[in-house]
Structure 1
Amino acid sequence: MTAQVYNFNPPKGKREWLPITPVPDDAPAPPVNHYKHGEPNFIFRYNNLDKKLMCLYCRFKRAEDGVWLNLPLSYCRHVETGKEEWRWIALAEPRPLFIESNFGQWRDGMPKLVVGTEEAVGIATMQLNELYDAVTWPQDARSVKKADWSWFKEGDEVVIWPDCNSIREPITKEELDAGMKPEDKPFLPAIKQSGIAAAETVAQILQARGCKVRIVDVPAPGVKPDGWNIMHADDEMSVEEIKTFITDHLRAPIPLNERGISTAILANAGEWKEQLFYKDGLVRECRENVYLILQHHPDWKGVLWRDEFSNRIICRRDSPIGKLQGSEWLEEDDFKLGLWLAQNLRLFIKASSNLADGIRAEADQNKFHPVREHLDSLVWDGKDRLEDWLSDYVGVEKSPYTSLVARYFLIGMVARIYRPGCKMDTALILEGIQGEGKSTLAKILAGDEHWFSDTVFVMGEKDSLQGLRGRWVYELAELDSFGKAESTRAKAFISSSTDSYRAPYDRTFKDHPRQCVFIGTTNQIEYFKDPSGNRRYWPVKSNGEVKLDAMRQVRDQLFAEAVQWFKNDMHWWPTRDEQINLFLPEQEQRELEDPWSKLIYDWLNSHSLSKVTVLDILLDAVGVEKSKIDGNKQMSTRVGICMRKLAWQKHRETSGAREYYYARPEKPKKEGSDDPLPF
């Protein structure tokens, strides 16, 4: 393609024209005379890795002040008319990198040399092609982040040769009026020179891509003419001397910077950097700055989140320290963050508490609930299944009682997620399911194996409460093995709506609303050793024919329906009538029979007493010697349970010693009696 020289009118609106990339083979020759700056001094072809032309950059030396300008020229199409022509428009970001169009190569495994100008790429390609692939970015030092650095791969070895600038501090009007000259001002620190700042930014970008980066330690500002680079070194040194200069002057990226965070890193970072806290011009080592960096730095923004379900800190993006998306942030990761801040931002956090506080504050700003997100994603198909899943898939005989249990339990599971700590003081008890089927069924209900646990749980131990974090379903295996004391503790534990424990990054124990439900399993038919509090258990008996695959297929629809019931304000506990008429009979069937019940029943039936005391029953019905009656009232409690089951009512005398007694229940009236109707 031969460049054609002719004048070109200025574009009236960049948005009207969109660049076409790569440039079509049949595109006309590009204009090179600029409407204002005339003929360019240099023209650089920017190709993609397939060596297809993407655009041109034309270098002009401005006549009025000698400043060099690097302007883009792209082949474009008009968005309305479809007309195609060359325009002085830049490509959309990210923009291609520049390698020498005739001899330059991009070879896998070859070390890369990043320089600051296209001319420097040409010299490096000619002199060092056997050692490096030379490359630069378009335009100037301020455009580093607009380039397409995806050409670089993980593991690439990279050397960056910065332009050596010698810019002085700006002079003020007052200083000029006082007779000071611009050359009297000191040179800016190296890190504030545009070439070094650009090199550090490139290094940060490439390190994040997994490259091994070193920077050529060029002479200090003022030692060389402004803009000194490999092109000027080629005039001063032999090729071998240039090679030696590079190897002898390599340093790690980000030199020590007394400001704490380098100017290069903060350049173009947005207004957030102004929120950082400073003291004596230095960025302070404090938890607030840790938080602000995690909140706003492009590499960290959106990484750390608080999982409200498990009360853990989770990475929801890959982090710069190698923590992958979905992984839990652990205490040892605090050190890695501190190291990253030191190596990349030169911010040294000495107090580990400042790191921890900043991490916690950032995570608490970004909260999510994985189970709630899962439930919100479900769409119910409108088919009623909720009351039938126990009978259809778990081998439980269908009845009014089992239908209610099926419905209430799943709605209760949903309620615990949308309203943590809500009333759900009951546990589903699965009877008769052999082997691993019961745990597998519980896992299916949980939906994610991480949301289920069946580890041994020690009631009352605070450390055990940590095991409830992030669990939706907790299996209490072999419920029949619980002793009486353990059974009592289990009922109290199931009734609790909060759990107190110290979560990661918390300094003290806190009450956390409970979000899990419990499923008990047993192969026995009588296992309630303590008759009190058994309303907390909803037992169902399976014939052992559990359809696990079918349950997996229908599981999401069951919970989609349960969510609809919950959002329509359906309760998830039995009414009083349901408890008395449906639930209580099932619960009483599982109680271990007390031998005193038969003794007391027979004794009461053999006597026509209208009322009896506990002492009467212990001495005459059970035959306990008076001296053996315990003082802690366990025998009295046992008698009371038996009498309640026999429907005898407890009363108290109104005079004398006001002793408690049990009154014989009234006989039910026979149908057809002459007693008046109750209305």
Structure 2
Amino acid sequence: MNIEDFDSVKRAAVAAIDQLLFDWFPNGVVEGSEFCVGSLSGEAGQSLRVHLKGERAGVWSDFSIDGEAGGDLISLYAAKERISQGRACAQLARDLGVSIHDKDGRKYIPAGQISALQKSPPAQAGKGVGAPAAPKKKQAKWEPILPIPDSALPYPKAHVVRGWPQMFWEYRDQEGRLLGVVYRFITSDGGKEVLPCVFARNEITGTCEWRWLQWREPRPLYLPRPLRENFEVLVVEGEKAADAAVELYGVQFDVVSWPGGGKAVKKVDWSPLAGRSCLFWADADAKRYKENHPTQAGEIMPETEQPGMKAMQWIAGELQGLGCRIQFVDIPEPGVQPDGWDVADLRDSGAGEAEFLAWINRRRPVWVAPAVELAAPVPSDSGDAADNVPDWVAGAPPELGDVPLPRAGAEPMDPQQIKSTVMVWGKYGVTPCRENVFYALMYDPRLQGIVAYDQFAELPMKVKPNPWGSPLGEWSETDDFYLGLYLAKNYGLTISSVGDIEKAVAQVARVNGFNPVTEFFESCAQAWDGTSRIEGAFSKYWGAEDSEYMRLVSTMFFVALAARAFNPGIKHDHAPVFEGGQGAGKSTALAVLGGEWYAETPFKMGDKDGYMAIQGILIYEIAELEQFNRSELTAVKAFMTNKNDRFREPYGRRMKNLPRRTVFAGTTNEGQYFKDTTGNRRFWPVACGRILLEQLKADREQLIGEAVARWREGVHWWPTPDQQRILIGPVQDDREIPDQWVGKLYDYVEGIDIDGKETNHKKDRVTARELLTRALHIEIGKLSSSKAETMRVSACMRKLGWEKKRDEKGAREYYYARPKPEAGTVQEVDYDIPV
């Protein structure tokens, strides 16, 4: 190779810089004009940075190892693979299809790329006139190899006919193993062509190579990132939309798509999503009826006939059968947006963060699969069914006419009519099965509407009087028993399996689903008088001192109530902590605000009972926060962070995975209660004064109504970094129980002697070893092996605003540097945005 070869490879590598970097470092992210990853090892982080644009494209620095750097992608690849730059250049030339020179100066294309990308099929001899016909050979069959072995890499970078792709996507399994690649090419007429490529084995010869063919069925899902436990899944159409969804909502959601478009949904393996909560974002298609349509030629088809929604509806039905909870994003009606508008178009539209958040919060009610008409039983030949009403002993099946599909509020029938026209019949009469229990509950006037599904509490509820006189409330095993007695007496149905009754009741309840919290919140929103109250709520009703901080946390708390009510599982891991003496009314005020959806029953954070205790609860009080020790408080913070509650009920057959609906609030009798020096950003202290309970009761609906309005306007329920640093952080620091070491370390670095007088021994730089031995007078030999003392010193120095650095010479010991005057003593904030 010569200098020209290096220059050619550098230029080709820069042209494919995005593709190469994500190939080498799948955990990397793009921030502005730089690609960031943890180090040359490829873990997530920001210490290794690569310029992406302009004259500096390819220039890189790895600050995780004392600033190792390079001026191009060849040197980066060499450092990553720990090989020479000459070898790195040759390998990149092979991958990119760049011609280089051998040691004798002859130009060639490195081996390996010719067969994968550019080899043309050999000319076939013997095809002239009079040439004997070649004997037919058995056509080779290629079987994809899954997962693809590492020895098969790299995969093709281009197509022999289509050339370089516009985009490509790696399909990987849950463990991150490569399954294949999907490429999108621009055709000569400006259209697009999507081609999958897999590593396959020839069944005849045993040869293995990359082939441009589809996976065998069932095909894999497209997972931009591995699925995480307890995360809601956002289902979109197409790999481009999936990548955009990860960019916008990847903190809150797992994202999936599938190969082949809307017509291939039945060929995909959907089982990895079993039991999850799924949100569907269908393409907003605007297809029109064809010109030969008899009545609606040229008109835009309704949403139910648009291809994107039809595909998503089929997937929803499939996933509901796998125990998934289904909701749909409320996309625009056909024609409002350009045909095929999706989450990628929203990202590229220049919309702001508030609009992104508003779209993901626009949800339709929980989706239930449409009822399916049952096939009619074979009619009896023993006369007119109307004159031969079947009886349980005779068992003559009825003749089924056009039976209406069961819906909430269906026209009621008497039991004999239900048996003769709707129920399923077997050899000996009406079949004792769950389907017939379902029909009885849907059509019998005495049973109709007695059970409905509380979508907030995730429970079937008795909402109307029932024939056996059970009080209204949660449906119980006793109700199953008495329903069985009613069916036996009135229909001759003896249901031997209580599971059949439970399943029928559950399905009927879902048909009659309701959400008492959102219904109440909607009524409050409609009744809101437009007066702003929530900003000053903590000051007015809880008696807290009015300040910019108090107005901020009061607004965020109330908006979070609306966000969690209407969008379960939304990220929210903060809680106000109401401070005041015993009997001040802190808990009572929370009970007034939460109403029937408030609770304070203590439980152990993180276990099954804890997850079960907060179901159906909007406001949960963490009482007497000061009594938690450090490890218990850490468990509280971890529990608050969860966006989903996953648990198995006693005697339950399946794990439940429910999106978090609860907002937490703490109470304490103390003024200092934070024992963790590493940060307490999840708690917002509120020093209470006189609490006005009666006025809070009177204004409760107005407060909730305004909270809903503010949430719909896009008001944040989380602080910005500046708000956390300037307004919230200082208040949290005031509640921290001080570490006695902070004062000792401060005196030492400031040169203050034991009598409190300043000396000339002020420090601008100090090591942890020096602080431990000279400031705290701890012998090195008595330090614990767990480095607890060193970590405690680090926390104290961070409190004082000192910056931790590492010496580049000698033993490369860590040290602390005095902050510059303009830098202040502010800590970095661990800040998470919910979207």
Report TM bin, short chain: 0.5 to 0.7
Q: Does 1:346 align with 2:487?
A: no
- Where do 1:359-370 residues align within 5 Å? 359-370=505-516
Match of 2:656 among 497, 504, 510: 510
Q: Does 1:419 align with 2:564?
A: no
Match of 1:462 among 593, 608, 616: 608
Q: 1:23-42 CA distances to partner (integer Å, 9 max, x unpaired)?
A: xxxxxxxxxxxxxxxxxxxx
CA drift of 1:524 comes to: 0.8
Q: 1:230-273 CA distances to partner (integer Å, 9 max, x unpaired)?
A: xxxxxxxxxxxxxxxxxxxxxxxxx964649999954444xx96
* Alpha-carbon spacing, 1:273–1:394, altered in 2? closer, same or farther (3 Å): farther
- Where do 1:196-215 residues align within 5 Å? none
Partners of 1:370 and 1:466 lie apart in 2 by 19
Match of 1:604 among 731, 749, 771: 749
Question: Could you say which residue in structure 2 is the equivalent of 1:584?
Answer: 729
Q: Does 1:317 align with 2:464?
A: yes
Q: Is the 8 A contact 2:398 2:420 kept in 1?
A: no
Q: Does 1:574 align with 2:728?
A: no
Match of 1:661 among 815, 827, 830: 815
Match of 1:559 among 690, 704, 712: 704
Q: What amino acid does structure 2 have at the position aligned with 1:601? A: Y
Q: Is the 8 A contact 1:527 1:590 kept in 2?
A: yes
Partners of 1:310 and 1:279 lie apart in 2 by 38
CA drift of 1:279 comes to: 2.0
Question: Could you say which residue in structure 1 is the equivalent of 2:804?
Answer: 650
* Alpha-carbon spacing, 1:653–1:192, altered in 2? closer, same or farther (3 Å): farther
Match of 2:691 among 521, 533, 546: 546
Q: Is the 8 A contact 2:538 2:550 kept in 1?
A: yes
* Alpha-carbon spacing, 1:553–1:295, altered in 2? closer, same or farther (3 Å): same
Q: 1:180-222 CA distances to partner (integer Å, 9 max, x unpaired)?
A: xxxxxxxx99x9788xx9xxxxxxxxxxxxxxxxxxxxxxxxx
Question: Could you say which residue in structure 2 is the equivalent of 1:282?
Answer: 429
Q: 1:519-578 CA distances to partner (integer Å, 9 max, x unpaired)?
A: 1111111110112341100001112x1111111111111111111100111111111111
Q: What amino acid does structure 1 have at the position aligned with 2:821? A: K
Match of 1:627 among 781, 785, 788: 781
**Structure 2 unaligned runs (5+)?**
1-379, 400-412, 752-760, 825-835
Partners of 1:260 and 1:634 lie apart in 2 by 81
Q: Does 1:492 align with 2:638?
A: yes
Partners of 2:474 and 2:445 lie apart in 1 by 20
Question: Which has the higher mean CA deviation after the structures are superposed, 328-337 or 369-378?
Answer: 328-337
Q: Does 1:330 align with 2:484?
A: no
Which SS does the other structure have where 2:635 is aligned?
helix
Q: Is the 8 A contact 1:260 1:283 kept in 2?
A: no
Q: Is the 8 A contact 2:397 2:426 kept in 1?
A: no
CA drift of 1:631 comes to: 1.7
CA drift of 1:170 comes to: 9.9
CA drift of 1:478 comes to: 0.8
Q: Does 1:297 align with 2:444?
A: yes
* Alpha-carbon spacing, 1:277–1:639, altered in 2? closer, same or farther (3 Å): same
Partners of 2:430 and 2:491 lie apart in 1 by 10
Question: Could you say which residue in structure 1 is the equivalent of 2:665?
Answer: 519
Partners of 1:256 and 1:462 lie apart in 2 by 46
Which SS does the other structure have where 1:549 is aligned?
helix
CA drift of 1:669 comes to: 9.8
Q: What amino acid does structure 2 have at the position aligned with 1:578? A: Q
Match of 1:409 among 540, 557, 567: 557
* Alpha-carbon spacing, 1:283–1:665, altered in 2? closer, same or farther (3 Å): same
Partners of 1:560 and 1:654 lie apart in 2 by 59
CA drift of 1:436 comes to: 6.2
Question: Could you say which residue in structure 2 is the equivalent of 1:473?
Answer: 619
Partners of 1:273 and 1:584 lie apart in 2 by 71
Percent identity over the alignment is: 38
**Structure 1 unaligned runs (5+)?**
1-168, 173-187, 198-254, 671-679
Partners of 1:540 and 1:259 lie apart in 2 by 71
Normalization by structure 1: what TM-score? 0.58
Partners of 2:488 and 2:396 lie apart in 1 by 8
* Alpha-carbon spacing, 1:436–1:318, altered in 2? closer, same or farther (3 Å): farther
Normalization by structure 2: what TM-score? 0.48
Q: What amino acid does structure 2 have at the position aligned with 1:400? A: E
Q: Is the 8 A contact 1:386 1:562 kept in 2?
A: yes
Q: 1:82-135 CA distances to partner (integer Å, 9 max, x unpaired)?
A: xxxxxxxxxxxxxxxxxxxxxxxxxxxxxxxxxxxxxxxxxxxxxxxxxxxxxx
* Alpha-carbon spacing, 1:504–1:627, altered in 2? closer, same or farther (3 Å): closer
Partners of 1:644 and 1:261 lie apart in 2 by 81
- Where do 1:214-225 residues align within 5 Å? none
Q: Is the 8 A contact 1:312 1:504 kept in 2?
A: no
CA drift of 1:285 comes to: 2.1
Q: Does 1:395 align with 2:543?
A: yes
* Alpha-carbon spacing, 1:457–1:504, altered in 2? closer, same or farther (3 Å): closer
Partners of 2:648 and 2:582 lie apart in 1 by 37
Q: Is the 8 A contact 1:491 1:533 kept in 2?
A: no
Question: Could you say which residue in structure 2 is the equivalent of 1:613?
Answer: 767
* Alpha-carbon spacing, 1:619–1:260, altered in 2? closer, same or farther (3 Å): farther
CA drift of 1:352 comes to: 1.5
Q: What amino acid does structure 1 have at the position aligned with 2:591? A: K
> When the two structures are aligned, how many residues end up with a matched partner?
421
Partners of 2:706 and 2:714 lie apart in 1 by 13
Q: Is the 8 A contact 2:397 2:425 kept in 1?
A: no
Q: Is the 8 A contact 1:261 1:346 kept in 2?
A: no
Q: What amino acid does structure 2 have at the position aligned with 1:565? A: R
Question: Could you say which residue in structure 2 is the equivalent of 1:42?
Answer: none
Which SS does the other structure have where 2:473 is aligned?
coil
Q: Is the 8 A contact 1:312 1:503 kept in 2?
A: no
Which SS does the other structure have where 2:805 is aligned?
strand
Q: What amino acid does structure 1 have at the position aligned with 2:798? A: R
* Alpha-carbon spacing, 1:504–1:569, altered in 2? closer, same or farther (3 Å): farther
Question: Could you say which residue in structure 2 is the equivalent of 1:8?
Answer: none
CA drift of 1:508 comes to: 1.6
Question: Could you say which residue in structure 2 is the equivalent of 1:9?
Answer: none
Question: Could you say which residue in structure 2 is the equivalent of 1:67?
Answer: none
Greater radius of gyration (CA): 1
* Alpha-carbon spacing, 1:260–1:477, altered in 2? closer, same or farther (3 Å): farther
Which SS does the other structure have where 1:637 is aligned?
helix
Partners of 1:597 and 1:274 lie apart in 2 by 82
* Alpha-carbon spacing, 1:527–1:260, altered in 2? closer, same or farther (3 Å): farther
Partners of 2:435 and 2:648 lie apart in 1 by 23
* Alpha-carbon spacing, 1:355–1:547, altered in 2? closer, same or farther (3 Å): same
Q: Is the 8 A contact 1:261 1:347 kept in 2?
A: no
CA drift of 1:434 comes to: 3.1
Which SS does the other structure have where 1:474 is aligned?
strand
- Where do 1:160-199 residues align within 5 Å? none
CA drift of 1:612 comes to: 2.2
